[in-house]
Amino acid sequence: MEESFSRRHILTPAELRALNKKSNFAGFFQLISHFLSIFIVGLIHYHLLGSWWCLLSGFIMGVLINFLYAGQHELSHSTVFKTAFINEFFGRVIGFFMFFPRDFDQIMHFAHHKFTQNWEKDGELAREAFTLKSYLLWLSGITYWKNRWVGILRRGLGKIIEPYIFKSQERKVILESQVHLLGYATIILISLYFQNLFAIYFWVLPMVLTKPIHQLQNTIEHLGLSHEDDILKNTRSTRTNFFFKWLCWQMPYHTAHHTFPSVPFWKLKHLNKKVEEVSGPVHSMGWLEFQFSVISRLLEKDESKWPQNEVWVISSKDNKKPIKLEA
């Protein structure tokens, strides 16, 4: 992702160069602390299997695994480590366990950044407008996992339907999906041969069942905001605590990230402060506050019936009526 999508009125070139400096130490500290947390909770989960307490340990482990996608996201931006190869290597490793191939995710995410909130071009808007039913299914993870697994299988069979994937990119996306399918098939065969359910108990089941927690972050970042081509109007940050900022690799500072995607995750707090000093407070909501608001709005009418250039999911700190934005 070479484009900086810079907003020159917010940062000077010198300020951006300083913020763009990467750190292998900061990258490994975040990555290792996240992996180590999964390992420690996994050990606890192993010793609790057979008791009711394993439901709690499995829940925590599943949440930790799901939020590894935040790491994959940053690795796709090549902002975690100075060395490009390390970013790519760990991005592929995490992408395999997320059922979200790295190259496909990077291509889709690049389109998302370049065309944020553009219905025809944004890689993350390649969906129908949400109704209350379809939103709740997505929030639950049911349609999320269906899209992931069917997508890998379809692309592995050589069928590309995503409009944001160029012809020149199709071969590597197909090959990547085939490698993933081969890897998953190998794990299934080994599990069957040894009659071992380790992959189910310590990977797939915890991750699938706790996806709704991860969806709290996935759904809050843009839904219910303007579809204008203005990052400060079409992107939302998340109000949360230190632990969840660590868990999300600082992605709660989402408006700052979209404003300058080239800035490493661990500098987003500083960048967000600078953005707000220059442009004023960014859109922000808490996870549960957002869910209550969007569900109440979808009870009124589905997403397609809300005006494109209005904020229709409102923070409790703002007015209760949709905010009309200037053209």
The three-state DSSP-derived secondary structure of 231-253 is: HHHHCCEECCCHHHHHHCCCCCC
Q: Does 323 map to a domain? A: no
Q: For 127-176, how does the pLDDT look when each residue is reduced to its tens digit (9 = 90+)?
A: 999 999 999 999 999 999 999 999 999 999 999 999 999 999 999 999 99
- The predicted model scores a pTM of 0.92
Q: Does 191 map to a domain? A: yes
Q: Does 9 map to a domain? A: no
- Provide the domain count of the chain: 1
DSSP letters of 155-190?
HHTT----TTS-HHHHHHHHHHHHHHHHHHHHHHHH
Q: For 86-131, how does the pLDDT look when each residue is reduced to its tens digit (9 = 90+)?
A: 999 999 999 999 999 999 999 999 999 999 999 999 999 989 999 9
Q: How far apart are CA 209 and CA 45, in angstroms?
A: 15
What average pLDDT does this structure show over 296-307?
Answer: 95
Task: Please give the mean pLDDT across all residues of the chain.
Answer: 93
Q: Does 233 map to a domain? A: yes
Domain containing residue 57: 22-317
Q: How far apart are CA 67 and CA 226, in angstroms?
A: 27
What pLDDT score does 1 carry?
47
Q: Does 73 map to a domain? A: yes
- Residues 248 and 66 sit within 8 Å (Cβ to Cβ): no
Q: Does 15 map to a domain? A: no
Q: Does 229 map to a domain? A: yes
Q: How far apart are CA 143 and CA 135, in angstroms?
A: 9
Q: Does 14 map to a domain? A: no
What pLDDT score does 264 carry?
97
* Conformational region of residue 99, where left means phi above 0, alpha means psi within -120 to 50, and beta covers everything else: left
β-bridge mates for residue 238, sequence order = 285
Q: For 208-252, how does the pLDDT look when each residue is reduced to its tens digit (9 = 90+)?
A: 999 999 999 999 999 999 999 999 999 999 999 999 999 999 999
